[in-house]
Amino acid sequence: MCGIIGYLGDKNAKTVLIEGLRALEYRGYDSAGLAVFDRAGEVFIRKTEGKVKDLERYSASLSAEYSSGIAHTRWATHGEATGINAHPHTSSDGRVILIHNGIIENYMPLKKKLESEGARFQSETDTEVIAELISKFYESGRLIEAVASALANVQGSYGLAVMARDMPGTIVGARNGSPLVVGIGDSCLSIASDRNALPACARRIFYLDDGELVHLGAEGYRTISLANVETTKEVEDFHREIQHSDRAGYPHYMLKEIFEQPGTIADCYRGRILPQEGLARLGGLDPLDERLHDFRRIIITACGTSWHAALVGEYLIEELAGIAVEVEYASEFRYRNPIIDAHTLVLVISQSGETADTLAALREAKMRGAAVAGIVNATGSTIAREAGCGIYVHAGLEKSVASTKAFTSQVIALFLFALRLARMTKLSSDQGIRYLAELVSLPRKIENILNRAEEIRAIAGVFRGKSNCLYLGRGIQFPVALEGALKLKEVSYIHAEGYPAAEMKHGPIALIEPDMPVVVVASRCGVYEKVISNIEEIRARRGMVIAITTEGNEGIRRHVDHVFYIPEIDEALSPILTVIPLQLLAYYIAVAKGHDPDMPRNLAKSVTVE
C-alpha cells in the first residue's frame, strides 16, 4: 500500500528518501515519486510508473546536494498506475507539494467546486484535490494552518506529508486513519508511514494520532489538533528492529520467511510457557487477568491470512477451553450491529497492526464497551497501541507480501491463549503438560518438513498448465485449506478455492474434471475416514489428488496421486505442520511460472485503506 517518507537534515535528502522508499517497497506499489529541495531552495520533482529502481534511474540527473524532501510509493486506488497519477502532486499554482496515503471520499464534489473556481487538474487522483485545497488556504509561512483548514473540508482517510515551494525547510504531516510516525535525530527530522523506513539518524520517535498534524522545521517539531489546539506527544527511544532485511542467500523473502518458521514459532512461545505446570503465561494480557473468568463468548476479528488464523483459534479455544467463539471478517464486523455484552472479549488479529478494516473493527468493539486484546506482529503499530493489551507474536519483520511466518506465529499465540483459558476451567495440569510437550516439539518437526522441500517442488510440477484447483480440509484443517488456496492465488494467479471437504458434493464437485488438482489436507484426525470418502469422490471423477497426511499413513497411497507426509503431532497443533507444505507449494508454483512471489501483482502488504 502507499508508502510515505519525508526528511529534513544534513544528509543528502535524495539518498535518504530513496533508501526509505526501498524499505517501503515490500508493502506493494505500482509507481513512485519524490520532491527534493536543493540548498538554494529550488524544488525538483520526479515520478514514474514502476519500481523504486525506475525512479532512481529517472532521477539520476538530480546530482546536487538536497536538504529536504518527500517521497512516495503509490498503490493505485483512484486512477491507473501512471507517472502522472504518481505522487507527489502539486497545486495548479505550484505552491503546494504533497504525498498522500488513504482515500478522500468527497473528492468529486471538491474537485468540481475547485474546477469551477479555475483549478486545473493533471491527474485522476483524489490526492491532487487536497494539494489544490491547501493552496487555496495557504499564506506564505503558514503551512500547518493551511493544511488544517483544508482538511476541515475533507472526508476520508489520510496520512499526508506536505511541503510548500517557498518553505523548503518545513514538512507538515497530518493523519486520519493512515499511520504516520515522526523520527527525531540530532541533525534530522523525518516522517514515514512505517517506522522501518525512517532514516538511521532517527533515535526517538512518536506516532501521530488521528486528527493530529505535525510541523517539522529548523526549530524542531510541534503538533496540533485539527482544531488548532497544541497537543503533547509521548516520545520514545527508537531501537530499530534487527532488520534481517537481506534475503540471507534465499532467492526470495517468501522462501526465507517460510524457512524461518522453526525459529519464529519458538520466539512466540519462548518465556511464555511453564512446561512442568502445563501453563501459559501471557504478560501482555495482565490487564484482563481479573476478567478472564467472566468471558462467556469471544469474537475474533481479522482479515485475510490473519482471519484464517482466527478460524484455527476458534477450534482451539472451543476445544481446549470450551468457550464459544465467533470469527468475523473485520470488514463486515465494522458495518454490522454486533451483539457485545460485558461477558464478550473481542480479539483482534493483525500482522501489520495497520489494516484499516481491522483497526475500524477494534474501534467499534471498544466503542461498544467490549474488552479487547490484540494479537499483533508489528510492535508499536496502531492496532497494538489502541488495543491496549494483547500478545505480540514476535515473528520478526515479514517482508514477503504473502504472509507465512506471521500465520504460524498467530496460531501459536492463539494456542497459548486457549491453553491459558483452558487451564482456568477444564484442562488438568497433566493435559497441559502434554500439550506443551507437543508445542516444544514443533521446531524440530518443521525442520523435518523443510528438509524435504524438494518433494514439494516436485509436486509443484503437476500444476503446470493448470488454471483451477481446490483445497479441501475438515475440522481444524479447513482453515488450512483456505490458507493454502489463498497463498496459491496470491503468488501464482491460479484460481483456487478452499472448502470443507464434505461441502464439495454440495456444489464444487461440478468443477472437477480429469486431472484437475485437488489438494486434500488429510492428517490423522477424528474424521479421517470421511476425508478418504471425499477423496474417492474426487477420484471417481478423475481429479488429481495431492494429499498432506501424517507419517506412517501408507494406506493413503492407494487413494491419491501424490502424497506429502508431516510428522505426528497432536491435532490441536497440526495446522502449523500442514500449512507449511502448502506455503512451499504456492511458492514453487509461482517461481515455476516465472512470477516474483515477493511482489505479487495488485497486492499490498498492509491494507491501510478500506
Q: Does 178 bind ligand F6R (CB under 6 A)?
A: no
Q: By CB under 6 A, which span of 134-142, 216-224, 298-306, 311-319 interacts with ligand F6R?
A: 298-306
Q: How far is the CB of 178 from ligand F6R (least distance, A)?
A: 14
Q: How far is the CB of 101 from ligand F6R (least distance, A)?
A: 15
The conformational region for residue 469 under phi > 0 = left, psi -120 to 50 = alpha, else beta, is beta
Distance from C-alpha of 271 to C-alpha of 292, rounded to nearest angstrom:
21
Q: By CB under 6 A, which span of 193-201, 252-260, 345-353, 429-437 interacts with ligand F6R?
A: 345-353
Binder among 273, 310, 365, 607 for ligand F6R (CB under 6 A): 607
Q: How far is the CB of 281 from ligand F6R (least distance, A)?
A: 25
Residue 314, amino acid: E
What residues between 198 and 227 interact with ligand F6R by CB under 6 A?
A: none
Q: Which helix (H) or strand (E) holds 184?
A: strand 181-184
| Nearest residue (CB) to ligand F6R, 144 versus 268 | 268
Binder among 91, 358, 492, 583 for ligand F6R (CB under 6 A): 358
Binding mask 112-141 for ligand F6R (x = CB under 6 A): ------------------------------
Binder among 12, 193, 306, 344 for ligand F6R (CB under 6 A): 306
Distance from C-alpha of 495 to C-alpha of 587, rounded to nearest angstrom:
15
**Minimal CB distance residue for ligand F6R:** 304
What residues between 379 and 408 interact with ligand F6R by CB under 6 A?
A: 402-403
Binding mask 445-484 for ligand F6R (x = CB under 6 A): ----------------------------------------
Distance from C-alpha of 303 to C-alpha of 482, rounded to nearest angstrom:
13
C-alpha cell at 493: 494467479
Sheet of 96-104, strand order:
89-90, 96-104, 156-164, 167-176, 212-217, 220-225, 230-231
- Given 11, 256, 489, 605, which residue is catalytic? 605
The conformational region for residue 349 under phi > 0 = left, psi -120 to 50 = alpha, else beta, is beta
Q: Does 351 bind ligand F6R (CB under 6 A)?
A: yes
Distance from C-alpha of 373 to C-alpha of 348, rounded to nearest angstrom:
6
Q: How far is the CB of 575 from ligand F6R (least distance, A)?
A: 15
605: annotated active-site residue: yes
Distance from C-alpha of 228 to C-alpha of 430, rounded to nearest angstrom:
60
Q: Does 304 bind ligand F6R (CB under 6 A)?
A: yes
Q: Does 492 bind ligand F6R (CB under 6 A)?
A: no
Distance from C-alpha of 526 to C-alpha of 474, rounded to nearest angstrom:
10
Residue 165, amino acid: R
135 close to 183: Cβ distance less than 8 angstroms:
no
Q: How far is the CB of 177 from ligand F6R (least distance, A)?
A: 14
Q: Does 31 bind ligand F6R (CB under 6 A)?
A: no
Q: Which residue has the cell 458495518?
A: 335
Q: By CB under 6 A, which span of 100-108, 124-132, 185-193, 297-305 interacts with ligand F6R?
A: 297-305
- 3-state SS assignment for residue 117: coil
Q: Does 3 bind ligand F6R (CB under 6 A)?
A: no
Q: How far is the CB of 359 from ligand F6R (least distance, A)?
A: 9
Q: Does 305 bind ligand F6R (CB under 6 A)?
A: yes
Binder among 352, 409, 523, 578 for ligand F6R (CB under 6 A): 352
- 3-state SS assignment for residue 227: coil
Q: Does 303 bind ligand F6R (CB under 6 A)?
A: yes
For 249-382, where are the E strands, in sequence order? 273-274, 279-280, 297-302, 324-329, 344-350, 371-376
Q: How far is the CB of 483 from ligand F6R (least distance, A)?
A: 8
Cross-strand partners of 183: 190, 205
Binder among 90, 264, 350, 523 for ligand F6R (CB under 6 A): 350
Number of chain positions touching ligand F6R (CB under 6 A): 15
Going by their DSSP bridges, the two strands 188-192 and 230-231 should be labelled as unpaired
Q: Does 193 bind ligand F6R (CB under 6 A)?
A: no
2: annotated active-site residue: yes
Q: Which helix (H) or strand (E) holds 171?
A: strand 167-176
Cβ neighbours for 187, distance < 8 A, ≥ 6 positions apart: 9, 10, 201
92 CB neighbour count, 10 Å cutoff: 17
**Residue of 54, 74, 56, 75 whose CA lies nearest to 17:** 56
Q: By CB under 6 A, which span of 303-311, 386-394, 460-468, 530-538 interacts with ligand F6R?
A: 303-311
Q: Does 606 bind ligand F6R (CB under 6 A)?
A: yes
| Nearest residue (CB) to ligand F6R, 85 versus 358 | 358
Distance from C-alpha of 44 to C-alpha of 250, rounded to nearest angstrom:
38
C-alpha cell at 287: 490487564
Binder among 210, 364, 490, 497 for ligand F6R (CB under 6 A): 490
Report the Cα 15 to chain-centroid distance in Å: 27
What residues between 136 and 175 interact with ligand F6R by CB under 6 A?
A: none
Cβ-in-10-Å burial (0-12, 13-18, 19+) of 375 comes to buried
Q: Does 264 bind ligand F6R (CB under 6 A)?
A: no
Binding interface with ligand F6R (CB under 6 A): 303-306, 350-352, 355, 358, 402-403, 486, 490, 606-607
| Active site members | 2, 605
